[in-house]
Amino acid sequence: MKVGLIGLGIMGKPMAKNILKSGYDLCVNDLNKANVDEVVACGAKAASSEEIGRTCDVVLTMLPNGPQVKQVMLGENGVSNFMKAGTTYIDMSSISPLVAKEVAEVLAAKGIDMLDAPVSGGEPMAINGTLSFMVGGKQQIFDKYKALLSCMGASVVRCGDIGAGNTTKLANQVIVAINIAGLSEAMLLAKKAGVDPQLVFDAIKGGLAGSNVMNAKFPMINEHNYKPGFRIDLHIKDLANALDCGHSVGSPLPLTALMMEIFQTLRADGCGSDDHSGIAKYYEKIGGTQIGK
Ligand code: NAD
């Protein structure tokens, strides 16, 4: 099976390396030549969009958002112009489910199947090949490509038809943002009331309030380490997609809207490139107190 992958950023690069480790024949493309060179050094072949479209059985993308996905796949020299009927496109980027459905419709008219397959888990899980994939699309196409996705992920779950993968990812991003805010708010309360947040964490992490978010983000907040990880700018993109989707299906998102404004405040304050655990900085500012050490 010949595989093409476009988008070799923080996530795409280690994912490409895991595809190669599993023995697939891989062609790659990215605007950033250094990223392409690094993956070529591991055994991939650099290729144009046209070459990827013409020669690959399955084309993968790992791009920032919907506009880039539409440009790469459907633009003037878009990959889909060169793909044969019967081939498959799998988008692993986190985009709006509405855009995923739009792209799938254009591809279906050319006889090309599509899965939307965004991931959860950041760069370390991309490196270890332990990402969680949330997939939308036909069962038969999912079954055909589950093994390919499994070489990058520990969990690969089909959530429904096309768009369901990104809907699931939006739900994930809403939960994560609100969770980090809850954690920050609670730890500010503890600190201002005179209890060490580290001891609060130690006492409650095994109880009902404990979570993967708490385990991953509290140590960062406590150490004031906001190196990404997952950038606030990317989380803003996901919440914008969640709000668009929510408005279009009539699902109110009051807490997501509040989180969006907290993120916007942080971005205006120059923190857009910080890890999303930097939500704690917003609380430190309004509380006039440092949460961590
Ligand atoms: P990134 O910005 O590091 O990488 C994107 C890559 O796409 C870049 O290398 C860029 O050069 C390339 N690119 C952009 N336009 C292109 C084009 N027209 N042609 C070819 N290449 C192009 O982003 P990332 O962190 O790897 O994230 C990718 C996706 O995965 C996003 O949708 C993000 O929300 C999602 N995601 C990221 C993380 C994370 O922790 N970073 C975790 C889960 C999901």
* pLDDT, mean of residues 254-263: 98
- Measured from the CB, is residue 67 less than 6 Å from ligand 1? no
**Which of 26, 81, 75, 72 minimizes the C-alpha distance to 53?**
81
DSSP 8-class letter at 4: E
pLDDT digits (tens, 9 = 90+) for 84-97: 999 999 999 999 99
**Res. 253 pLDDT band, cuts 50 70 90:** very high
- Measured from the CB, is residue 7 less than 6 Å from ligand 1? yes
At 285 the pLDDT is 98
pLDDT digits (tens, 9 = 90+) for 181-206: 999 999 999 999 999 999 999 999 99
Which residues face 132 on adjacent strands? 120, 155
> Any idea which fold 167-287 has?
N-(1-d-carboxylethyl)-l-norvaline Dehydrogenase; domain 2 (1.10.1040)
Ligand 1 mean position, distance from CA 218 (Å): 26
Q: Enumerate the domain spans of the chain.
A: 2-161, 167-287
Q: CA distances (Å), 2 to each of 56, 97, 185, 206, 242, in order?
A: 5, 27, 49, 46, 34
Which residues face 3 on adjacent strands? 26, 58
At 122 the pLDDT is 84
Atom of ligand 1 nearest to the CA of 237: 34
Average pLDDT, the chain: 97
- Measured from the CB, is residue 246 less than 6 Å from ligand 1? no
Is there a contact between 97 and 164 (Cβ–Cβ < 8 Å)?
yes
Which residues face 153 on adjacent strands? 131
pLDDT digits (tens, 9 = 90+) for 141-194: 999 999 999 999 999 999 999 999 999 999 999 999 999 999 999 999 999 999
pLDDT at 213 over 90: yes
**pTM beyond 0.85:** yes
Q: Which CATH code of 3.50.50.60, 3.40.605.10, 3.40.50.720, 3.30.470.10 fits the domain covering 2-161? A: 3.40.50.720
Residue ranges with strand state E in the chain: 2-6, 25-29, 45-46, 58-61, 88-91, 113-116, 119-120, 131-136, 153-160
At 88 the pLDDT is 98
Q: Is 217 a catalytic residue?
A: no
CB atoms inside a 10 Å sphere around CB 30? 22
Which residues face 121 on adjacent strands? none
Which has the higher per-residue pLDDT, 122 or 78? 78
Which residues face 4 on adjacent strands? 27, 59
pLDDT digits (tens, 9 = 90+) for 30-77: 999 999 999 999 999 999 999 999 999 999 999 999 999 999 999 999
DSSP 8-class letter at 107: H
pLDDT at 229 over 90: no
At 106 the pLDDT is 98
Is there a contact between 18 and 152 (Cβ–Cβ < 8 Å)?
yes
One-character DSSP codes across 16-53? HHHHHHTT-EEEEE-S-HHHHHHHHTTT-EE--HHHHH
* pLDDT, mean of residues 274-290: 98
Is there a contact between 180 and 226 (Cβ–Cβ < 8 Å)?
no
CA distance 4 to 111: 18
